[in-house]
Amino acid sequence: MAKVYIDKDASLDPIKDKTIAVLGYGSQGRAWALNLKDSGLKVLVGLEREGNSWKVAESDGFKPMHTEDAVKNSDIVIFLVPDMVQRYVYRERVAPYLRDGMDLVFAHGFNIHYKLIEPPKTVDVYMIAPKGPGPIVREYFAKGGGVPALVAVHQNYSGKAFEKALAIAKALGATRAGVIETTFKEETETDLFGEQVDLVGGITQLMRTAFQVLVEAGYQPEIAYYETINEMKMIVDLIYEKGFTGMLKAVSETAKYGGFTAGKYVINEDVKKRMKEVLDRIRNGKFAEEWIEEYNKGAPTLVNGMKEVENSLEEQVGRQIREISLRGKPKS
């Protein structure tokens, strides 16, 4: 089993006298900047434009500055801008101002693993990857908890990169829950795989296809939505809280029998084979090449995909069902 690092295993000492530049003030950037500041660290916010994020950072008590100025005045640079923007920000706003002994920090390994960013050997390069969205990272921290995280070291110029990674994890609140060591390769490839075959791609297509099968067979769309999409939250919540065994114990015997038999028929060895093909494309870099090309063309697949989903019958029905569900939600 992997070693889990908790609060007692980490110290803020390796970074307490450092100035930290957080590049980007989206959901993760805001959470990181606020958590690090509330942990007593000196934080600068670096932004490309004086737009909405600039105003939000100001309202949160920061004095944002342009990216290159934040880099010039910092010891640790944290990349929290979107993956496909990072290499441009690095090349134009960060690399010219890097000094020997500085740290480059990432929340996802994509740009380092696929060599879109190749830092000089005279800097530390490490990663802290919270396993939750930015608003949750902030919410849990503010309430005294923390979101688990992965940490990894790519370059250890100082000899203390891992200790600094744990220190930032602690300042984010992650060691309150638990931190596991990984590599940039493992984090990147497993993260992309999970998103594609399960968390975003697989589960979405599974639910939408099940909905469509019922509607095409003549069942009411509202009933189909309840049975194939809406109830998914309750099942996933049970798995999150109690594991697969706990979920199975919570459903009927009929549901268990049908699940054990039909589940393996639908998600069969052919599906597993295609999952392995997806993983191969991630590991050999073909997915990264495809995504970079797609992004450079203006991401038409994303634009068209979002339009198709937004206009689908399941989304139209979903809006109605969510209104019904919200009316029945207990008031806190």
pLDDT score, position 327: 76
Residues 220 and 255 in one domain: yes
Number of domains within the chain: 2
Give all strands of the β-sheet with 124-130 in edge-to-edge order: 4-5, 179-181, 149-155, 124-130, 103-106, 76-79, 19-23, 42-47, 65-66
Q: Which helix (H) or strand (E) holds 14?
A: none
Model pTM score: 0.92
Report, as an integer, the average pLDDT of 254-271. Answer: 97
Give tens-digit pLDDT for 81-91: 999 999 999 99
Catalytic residue among 66, 108, 113, 154: 108
Is 262 contained in some domain?
A: yes
pLDDT score, position 332: 62
Q: Number of C-alpha atoms within 13 angstroms, CB side, residue 139?
A: 6
Residues 141 and 202 in one domain: no
**Amino acid at the residue 75:** D
Report, as an integer, the average pLDDT of 209-225. Answer: 97
Residues 164 and 199 in one domain: no
- Average pLDDT of the chain, as a whole number: 96
- Percentage of the chain lying above the pLDDT 90 cut: 96
Report, as an integer, the average pLDDT of 102-116. Answer: 97
d(C-alpha 325, C-alpha 106), whole Å: 38
Residues 174 and 219 in one domain: no
Residues 118 and 235 in one domain: no
Confidence of residue 329 (pLDDT cuts 50, 70, 90): confident
d(C-alpha 178, C-alpha 268), whole Å: 34
Among 182, 207, 241, which residue terminates a domain? 182
Residues 100 and 249 in one domain: no
Residues 127 and 241 in one domain: no
pLDDT score, position 170: 98
Among 182, 214, 234, which residue terminates a domain? 182
Residue 331 has pLDDT above 80, yes or no: no
Q: Can you give the CATH number for the domain in which 12 is found?
A: 3.40.50.720
Is 243 contained in some domain?
A: yes
Residues 176 and 206 in one domain: no
pLDDT score, position 112: 98
Residues 209 and 321 in one domain: yes
Nearest CA to 86 out of 52, 58, 37, 127 is that of: 127
Name the 3-class secondary structure at 153: strand
Residues 61 and 105 in one domain: yes
Give tens-digit pLDDT for 138-154: 999 999 999 999 999 99
Residue span of the structural domain in which 29 resides: 4-182
pLDDT score, position 1: 80
Give tens-digit pLDDT for 49-61: 999 999 999 999 9
pLDDT score, position 330: 76
pLDDT score, position 316: 94
Q: Are strands 19-23 and 76-79 parallel, antiparallel or unpaired?
A: parallel
Is 187 contained in some domain?
A: no
Q: Number of C-alpha atoms within 13 angstroms, CB side, residue 32?
A: 31
pLDDT score, position 326: 78
Is 309 contained in some domain?
A: yes
Is 108 an active-site residue?
A: yes
Is 156 contained in some domain?
A: yes
Confidence of residue 310 (pLDDT cuts 50, 70, 90): very high
d(C-alpha 124, C-alpha 83), whole Å: 20
Residues 153 and 201 in one domain: no
Report, as an integer, the average pLDDT of 233-259. Answer: 97
Residues 68 and 155 in one domain: yes
Among 153, 182, 211, which residue terminates a domain? 182
Give tens-digit pLDDT for 177-202: 999 999 999 999 999 999 999 999 99
The DSSP code sequence of 247-280 is: HHHHS-HHHHHHHHHHHHHHS-HHHHHHHHHHHH
